[in-house]
Amino acid sequence: MKQLAETYGTHIQILQERCKNACERENLEGIIIHSGQELKVFLDDTTYPFKANPHFKHWLPITNVTNSWLLVNGVDKPKLVYYQPVDFWHKVVELDESYWGQYFDIEILTKASDVDKLLPYDKKRFAYIGEHIEVARALGFEQINPEPLLNYIHYHRAYKTAYEQECMRASNRLAVAAHQAAKAAFMAGKSEFEIQQAYLQAINHTANDTPYGNIVALNENASILHYTALEQQAPSQLRSFLIDAGANFNGYASDITRTYAYQAGRFSDLIKRMDQLMLNAVDGLKPGKSYVDLHIETYREIGVVLNEFGFINVDADTAAESGLVGTFFPHGLGHHLGLQTHDVGGFMADERGTHINSPEKHSFLRTSRVVEANQVFTIEPGLYFIDSLLADLKQSGLSEMVNWSEVESMKPYGGIRIEDNIIVHQSHNENMTRDLALD
């Protein structure tokens, strides 16, 4: 808490300066950010889990309160309209100002429909940022999520303040503890469902609190990139375990992946080799480097691994140039991380939002931006044995490049992905995940 308190004031100063510049550029009097409101399930009186607007969380460590509003212009003290109804049906989240309240003028809203009394009467030069377009229109906003404004904000969100970096370190601390609990559950022979429960208990999260649906995959299920089924019975034979899971702290996400072998052998050797490849990619993450170039270099290095382990009978250059590697590594190297797991601004060349296209052969990339200091990334290379992709490869002209018996022997293990969270500094990289001794 001390580090948060010491860095939060500067964080608000930086956001105020960005807001002032954005308002001047777009000829706005101010920006009004809506935390959001609950969304009802179709034909039901229940609601989906609430997720606060990331623009709202950028200013405030408030992630679970609906119908709240933030008024900013970069000059005046920000105004928070905080929703705190009188309600005996639901728990009312009382305002906890702690270290941040002094930076805001705060007004309590007891009835959501009364918010217009606390907003500017003439909203012509105020921009609404939020997902509830019908609410914005009903309140009289004309400028709703204007693209030039969002481009400016999204571009600068890639540069994390000291406060944001501290939140992300805390998020990694939570996730690492939970990953260790999940590994212990796997080694104890637990099912995917039981491993998930061990993870959540260790982190004091519910499944709705995590930044994304945890991937908890045993054996062949590790070959499904976004596997979330959670089988309740453990397989008769445990071979492998892939977990891709994070945590939230003050609205900031961590995103960590590990793969484990149940017993020592060829698959565990392959994990160790991929772990070293991942750490080499982290070393290549430097200011001035194109993330696209780093991905392409790592893509080739996976070709080296495929050759070393006898999965292919051609060299790495041939495997990369032919596209053969893509069967085994069908996604990008990583992405920006922050208020969202796949954070915004990854394809922007400038404040205007000029798009940087990914190469056609690497269309799965989630960022194409040049790496700079104070940006935060995931690095997550993978090597998988996916039935559908292997079937396509077998029918292609590249089939003869593959040692199919070696590939078939690995299919019961599913695949490997290893992912760390990295803050890029001017002089070095800070691997938040490894600093916490997660193997």
Q: Are residues 127 and 233 in the same domain?
A: no
Task: Decide if 289 contacts 283 (C-beta within 8 A).
Answer: no
Which domain range does residue 265 map to?
162-436
Q: Strand (E) positions, 133-214?
A: 143-144
Q: Are residues 148 and 169 in the same domain?
A: no
Q: What is the CATH number of the domain that holds 384?
A: 3.90.230.10
Q: Are residues 216 and 319 in the same domain?
A: yes
Q: What is the CATH number of the domain that holds 82?
A: 3.40.350.10
Which of these three, 118, 142, 157, is where a domain ends? 157
Task: Decide if 423 contacts 429 (C-beta within 8 A).
Answer: yes
Packing angle between helix 291-308 and helix 266-283, nearest 10 degrees? 160
Q: What is the pLDDT of residue 88?
A: 67
Which of these three, 89, 124, 157, is where a domain ends? 157
Q: Are residues 148 and 259 in the same domain?
A: no
Q: Are residues 49 and 81 in the same domain?
A: yes
Q: Are residues 237 and 130 in the same domain?
A: no
Q: What is the pLDDT along the chain (439 residues), one digit of tens a residue?
A: 678 989 999 999 999 999 999 999 999 999 999 999 999 999 998 999 999 999 999 999 999 999 999 999 999 999 999 999 887 666 767 777 789 999 999 999 999 999 999 999 999 999 999 999 999 999 999 999 999 999 999 999 999 999 999 999 999 999 999 999 999 999 999 999 999 999 999 999 999 999 999 999 999 999 999 999 999 999 999 999 999 999 999 999 999 999 999 999 999 999 999 999 999 999 999 999 999 999 999 999 999 999 999 999 999 999 999 999 999 999 999 999 999 999 999 999 999 999 999 988 888 899 999 999 999 999 999 999 999 999 999 999 999 999 999 999 999 999 999 999 999 999 999 999 999 988 7
- Kindly tell me the sign of the dihedral angle through the C-alpha atoms of 42, 45, 51, 56: positive
Q: Are residues 166 and 116 in the same domain?
A: no
Enclosing H/E stretch for 420: strand 420-424
Q: Are residues 262 and 303 in the same domain?
A: yes
Q: Strand (E) positions, 145-262?
A: 215-218, 240-245, 248-249, 252-253, 256-261
Q: Are residues 45 and 168 in the same domain?
A: no
Q: In 3-state terms, the chain is what percent helix, strand and coil (to 5)?
A: 40, 15, 45
Task: Say how many domains are in the chain.
Answer: 2
Q: Are residues 127 and 266 in the same domain?
A: no
Task: Rounding to the nearest 10 degrees, give the CA dihedral for residues 116, 121, 156, 7.
Answer: -70
Q: Are residues 129 and 209 in the same domain?
A: no
Which of these three, 157, 181, 203, is where a domain ends? 157
Q: Are residues 229 and 367 in the same domain?
A: yes
Can you give the pTM of this predicted structure?
A: 0.96
**Rounded distance between C-alpha atoms, residue 356 and residue 347, angstroms:** 5
